[in-house]
Amino acid sequence: MQAWRHLWQKMGVGSARQAWGLAPDGQGWALVALFCDSADLLRVHTTVSLKPPVGVPVIDASWLSQALSDVSRFKRLPWHRVTMGLSAHNLAMGQMVCPASLPEETWPAEVQLEVAQALNLPPEAVNFDFAAQVLGVGAVHHIHWVGCAKALIQDYQRWIGAAKSWRLTGVEPAMHAARRAARALLGGLPSLLQQAPQDWQFRWAQDSEIDDLDGAGMADEQWESVFRDALASPAGPRLVASGLALKAWV
């Protein structure tokens, strides 16, 4: 029903003890692998900064395939599962209200039109995801949605497909992944700036769809201020990459 979720299910994650997250980091990418230590504890196994070769245009990320292939040479695993992040400038996000009488099966089409209008693209040229929240008893549904150009997802699939032994298992907005990692970080956000990324540990739990889409439950101003500062720090892209890797266990 939901394009990103469908992509996730179609690619399949299955059981995993290690997963990777690949987050935008300026002109490059932050790559983080998390390893499952126990039933509810994960730790950072590897963190790598991938930078484009000198002279490569910023918009051309095809170099990423070779960079990932170079990383895999040092890892003795048949497959490397990776979730990729989307920067805010590549996304459209919004909310819409649907009457309770509107059948649920019509929601995807309504959201698709909203995303297409926001991105100024034809409906068939967008990918999207959404979560619904009931407002009042039998009143209306509040739908939070997010979307991007389908061509960008196809680029991601092409880059990963060209990298030997790498498998794309999902695509997600970077901010969603960052919030997931911040919630799960052992020691809370202060440990983000007190520890090297290599020492981070995470406790995982099932995600809330609405939390992922709009940050509900994160309204505490002090927490939000610390979170924003952490995200803007040099450790920010690695926090995002860690949240992307965490997706394999939620």
Task: Give yes or no: residues 198 and 96 share one domain.
Answer: no
Q: Domain span at residue 159? A: 3-89+151-249
Q: What is residue 213's predicted lDDT score, i.e. its pLDDT? A: 47
Task: Give yes or no: residues 20 and 81 share one domain.
Answer: yes
Task: Give yes or no: residues 129 and 242 share one domain.
Answer: no
Could you list the beta-strand ranges (E) of 157-200.
Answer: 166-173
Task: Give yes or no: residues 8 and 59 share one domain.
Answer: yes
Task: Give yes or no: residues 161 and 120 share one domain.
Answer: no
Give me the CATH number covering residue 203.
3.30.420.40
Q: Which of 34-43, 83-92, 147-156, 209-218 is the least confident region?
A: 209-218
Query: How would residue 57 be classed by pLDDT, with cut points 50, 70 and 90?
Result: low
Q: Is 44 helix (H, G, I), strand (E, B) or coil?
A: strand
Task: Give yes or no: residues 80 and 97 share one domain.
Answer: no
Q: What is residue 1's predicted lDDT score, i.e. its pLDDT? A: 35
Would the pLDDT of 113 be above 80? Answer: yes
Domain endpoint, select from 133, 148, 163 = 148
For residue 62, give the DSSP letter: T
Q: What is residue 226's predicted lDDT score, i.e. its pLDDT? A: 85
Task: Give yes or no: residues 183 and 195 share one domain.
Answer: yes
Residues 167, 79: contact at Cβ < 8 Å?
A: yes
Domain endpoint, select from 148, 167, 195 = 148
CA–CA distance, 169 with 153 (Å, rounded to integer): 12
Give me the CATH number covering residue 139.
3.30.1490.300
Task: Give yes or no: residues 46 and 159 share one domain.
Answer: yes
Task: Give yes or no: residues 142 and 236 share one domain.
Answer: no
Task: Give yes or no: residues 52 and 136 share one domain.
Answer: no
Q: Which helix (H) or strand (E) holds 221?
A: helix 221-232
Type of residue at 61: A
Distance between terminal CA atoms of the chain?
19
Task: Give yes or no: residues 157 and 123 share one domain.
Answer: no
Residues 143, 107: contact at Cβ < 8 Å?
A: yes
Would the pLDDT of 218 be above 50? Answer: no
Q: Which of 83-92, 128-137, 153-162, 163-172 is the least confident region?
A: 128-137
